[in-house]
Structure 1
Amino acid sequence: MRGDILSYEADGLVMESHLYVDDSRAGSRPGVLVFPEAFGLGDHAKGKARKLAELGYAALACDLHGQGRIMTDRNAMMAELGALFEAPERVRARAKGGLDALLAQPGVDAARIASIGFCFGGTMSLELARDGNPIAAVVGFHSGLRTKRPEDAANIRAKILVLLGADDPGIPPEMRAGFEAEMRAAGVDWRMHLYGGVVHSYTNPDADAMGMPEFARYDAAADRRSWAEMLAFFDEIFEKAA
């Protein structure tokens, strides 16, 4: 397994992302962008990217804030996310930088590219799709669904899968209904899976350390089930594209 730091510029920032590839596997391979939770690129997203590489994908765990920075101050992080939400072109630029860097790697099949994300990373993946980029699949785990430009869903070329806690207070039923209306209006191939009794950050074992179990809490069963849903989704899409 090879893990390299991949640097590139996006949104005026120098991104330091981590590329994972198993060079023992010959031939071209699908590529997957892995966008982290809102605090930045940490072990959680890197670990998910490594697991994908072990399955034969080229996986790029993407920097979120530039220079590999992880934001530890929750208030500062929320302020940064608020500013980004108001400027979706900046979110899209950061995501597009990762896409371009991944596509430039030898052996990556441009016809088989997915973007997955956790929390705000899911938002980034959806915005990348809304911008009309050539990706085949998007998967959002406990993903933010809102956008300032819902009309841009008409540009989506990817198939969409969102995997949400049914009791996530950050993604309430009315937000899910708005997302459904957006996808329906644009004629997108989309699906949404809900996990009962599950809240935010359910894929991250470190979520419990936040001390906010009513908002963010790890759930091993939902983590396992959602990962399996994603792999089945990839099998369906990438087999057709191969």
Structure 2
Amino acid sequence: MIVVREVEYDVDGLTMIAHLAHPDGEGPWPAVLIGHDGVGLEHYQRRRADILAERGYVALALDYHAGKTYFGQPQAMLDRVMPLLADPARMYAIGRAGLDALLAVPGVDTTRLAALGYGAGGRIVLELARRGTPFVAVAVVHPALPAACADDWTDVGATFLLCTGSEDPLCTPEQLTSFASALQEAGRDWYVTVYGGAQHAFWADPMSSADAGTPDHPVATVPGVGHHAAHERRAWRAVLDLLDDAIRQPDGR
């Protein structure tokens, strides 16, 4: 059995509405911070948190749109996201506020902390890692990537999983390889998975939106975005494998 609730906190001049899920018990539990992509915190990321809680993790899916989603509103999404991606200090503040909300949950084992980010949420969790957050593992799926600078990652102890689609125009395999090379130069533990034929946001099933008050997203709103069911499953399996290897104990705790 799991416990699920909303967590509100103020950052970036807004009241964020995160989604928290954790096992029904006292812990200690490994913890995972989840960053949503540019569309907003929606059913998919909430469900990731719930699944992780079912597997023995405390998971908080942070919010950086104050409860708003941008299905079918690509320009409004870009107007919100692009200035954020250009401001590392702002990204860090948003990520740190979500992380603080996660760490405040009773039963969190602060020595077993991981992060999972999608799209711009991947960039946010990478900024947290770059600035010294003691993540043991970081998984990013079609992320917005920072500049590939090895010096930024020399003192970062996490294992990194980097996932993208071969046809993603916003996070190309070449960009991912360049960033991975910086991790290699810094002496980090990392691995990359490129999913053949997958586009940007390949996890986003257009028929699976369950957000109350928001329409299903029946078609891609921008070129280069598309669902790939097989690779969606494979990427999620890769994330679970990383987390299980890095922070989950054999008894599930």
TM-score normalised by structure 1 residue count: 0.90
Please say if 1:31 is aligned against 2:38.
no
Moved more, 126-135 or 148-157: 148-157
Shift of 1:169: 1.4
The structure-2 alpha-carbon separation of the partners of 1:240 and 1:48, relative to structure 1 and needing over 3 Å to count, comes to: closer
Shift of 1:129: 0.7
Following the alignment from structure 1 to structure 2, what is the Cα–Cα distance between the partners of residues 210 and 152?
38
C-alpha root-mean-square deviation of aligned residues, in Å? 2.3
CA contact (8 A) 1:86 1:148 kept: no
Q: Which residue of 1 aligns with 2:55?
A: 55
The one-letter amino acid of 1:223's match is E
Q: Which residue of 1 aligns with 2:144?
A: 144
Following the alignment from structure 1 to structure 2, what is the Cα–Cα distance between the partners of residues 148 and 56?
34
Alignment map for 1:93-172 (pairs within 5 Å): 93-147=93-147, 151-172=151-172
The structure-2 alpha-carbon separation of the partners of 1:206 and 1:149, relative to structure 1 and needing over 3 Å to count, comes to: farther
Moved more, 179-188 or 86-95: 179-188
1:233 to 219, 226, 242: 242
Q: Which residue of 2 aligns with 1:71?
A: 70
CA contact (8 A) 1:91 1:127 kept: yes
Following the alignment from structure 1 to structure 2, what is the Cα–Cα distance between the partners of residues 114 and 8?
21
The structure-2 alpha-carbon separation of the partners of 1:158 and 1:12, relative to structure 1 and needing over 3 Å to count, comes to: farther
Shift of 1:230: 1.3
CA contact (8 A) 2:165 2:198 kept: yes
CA contact (8 A) 2:165 2:172 kept: no
Higher relative contact order (CA 8 A, sep 6+): 2
Shift of 1:146: 2.9
1:165-194 alpha-carbon deviations (Å, 9 max, x no partner): 122111123312321232123222111111
1:132 partner SS: coil
Shift of 1:9: 2.6
The structure-2 alpha-carbon separation of the partners of 1:15 and 1:107, relative to structure 1 and needing over 3 Å to count, comes to: same
CA contact (8 A) 1:130 1:154 kept: no
Identity %: 35
1:1-42 alpha-carbon deviations (Å, 9 max, x no partner): 32111122333432211111120x553111111111102111
Following the alignment from structure 2 to structure 1, what is the Cα–Cα distance between the partners of residues 78 and 37?
12
The structure-2 alpha-carbon separation of the partners of 1:14 and 1:3, relative to structure 1 and needing over 3 Å to count, comes to: same
The structure-2 alpha-carbon separation of the partners of 1:209 and 1:150, relative to structure 1 and needing over 3 Å to count, comes to: farther
Structure 1: gaps (5+ residues): none
TM-score normalised by structure 2 residue count: 0.86
Please say if 1:217 is aligned against 2:217.
no
The structure-2 alpha-carbon separation of the partners of 1:150 and 1:78, relative to structure 1 and needing over 3 Å to count, comes to: farther
1:57-86 alpha-carbon deviations (Å, 9 max, x no partner): 1111111123x1223531122132221122
Shift of 1:152: 2.4
**Runs ≥4 residues deviating over 6 A:** none
